[in-house]
């Protein structure tokens, strides 16, 4: 656990903020290159990226604060300290997706084709963030006796390194989407595939998480959201696949 990479006087470089920033920068660079290959305006796509990142960070922080509101009542100034950690991905995804749709339409880019680009590179950026979670010590797993269990400070027993599990599977999702992109049959295919793959992965991962309590039916709130993502993805995928020429309903 290394929440602070460098500390020099008043300056602190936090591992979580550094990894999130690296993920955004690398994914954005690759996304721009992909946009050019697909005949989209790299400058316009960069504008969309800016607003998606800004709204995504705000949405992720807002949901985190709402879920942990008691922790901030006495120290409200801590709300703005994003670099220390404290983002809920589902909040970032919803706010970022809303921003993407709004600005894609405003700039008259093809909606689903552009969203497909973002869907391919999103899990790569997210993977960097999960490594940041590991270094920060948040999003930890349940206790385990497996040999790769990790002992964090203030923990009495080793726990599952769920942050690294998630990072691995997010890179795998990125690889699957990047490969599938070459054989894409319809616009929206990558977005809907992402919803299915991430929804399924996060649903399963929650069984190993130790920081998200069950709310109903033995499932956490994030498992219900993940199930909704998966069902939305598979429904939309099937609908658009059937609309392709040569397909019958």
**pLDDT tens digit sequence for 32-88:** 999 999 898 888 889 999 999 999 999 998 888 888 788 778 778 777 777 666 788
The domain locations on the chain are: 4-242
pLDDT of residue 249: 39
Listed in sequence order, the DSSP H helices in the chain are 15-37, 42-67, 69-72, 89-106, 111-136, 162-181, 189-205, 221-242
pLDDT of residue 172: 98
pLDDT band for 246, please (50, 70, 90 cuts).
Answer: low
Are 94 and 225 within 8 A, CB to CB? no
pTM exceeding 0.85 = yes
pLDDT tens digits for range 180-206: 998 999 999 999 999 999 999 999 999
pLDDT of residue 4: 85
pLDDT of residue 55: 95
Neighbouring C-alpha atoms within 13 Å toward the C-beta of 167: 18
For 6-10, 12-16, 81-85, 161-165, which range has the lowest pLDDT when averaged over its residues? 81-85
pLDDT tens digits for range 84-129: 667 889 999 999 999 999 999 998 999 999 999 999 999 999 999 9
């Amino acid at each position: 656990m290394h929440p602070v990479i460098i500390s020099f006087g008043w300056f602190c470089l936090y591992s979580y903020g550094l990894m999130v920033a690296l993920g955004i920068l690398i994914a954005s660079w690759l996304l721009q290159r992909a946009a050019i290959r697909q005949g989209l305006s790299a400058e316009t796509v960069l504008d969309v990226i800016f607003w998606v990142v800004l709204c995504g960070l705000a949405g992720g922080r807002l949901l985190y604060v709402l879920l942990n509101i008691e922790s901030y009542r006495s120290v409200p100034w801590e709300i703005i300290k994003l670099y220390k950690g404290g983002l809920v991905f589902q909040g970032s995804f919803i706010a970022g997706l809303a921003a993407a749709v709004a600005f894609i339409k405003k700039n008259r880019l093809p909606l689903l084709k552009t969203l497909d680009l973002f869907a391919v590179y999103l899990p790569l950026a997210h993977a960097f963030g999960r490594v940041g979670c590991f270094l920060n010590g948040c999003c930890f797993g349940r206790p385990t006796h497996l040999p790769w269990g990790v002992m964090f400070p203030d923990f009495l027993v080793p726990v599952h390194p769920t942050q690294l599990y998630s990072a691995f599977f997010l890179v795998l999702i990125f690889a699957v989407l990047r490969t599938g992109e070459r054989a894409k049959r319809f616009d929206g295919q990558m977005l809907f595939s992402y919803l299915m793959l991430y929804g399924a992965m996060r649903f399963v991962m929650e069984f190993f998480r130790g920081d998200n309590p069950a709310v109903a039916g033995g499932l956490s709130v994030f498992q219900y959201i993940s199930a909704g993502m998966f069902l939305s993805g598979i429904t939309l995928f099937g609908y658009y696949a059937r609309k392709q020429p040569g397909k019958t309903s």
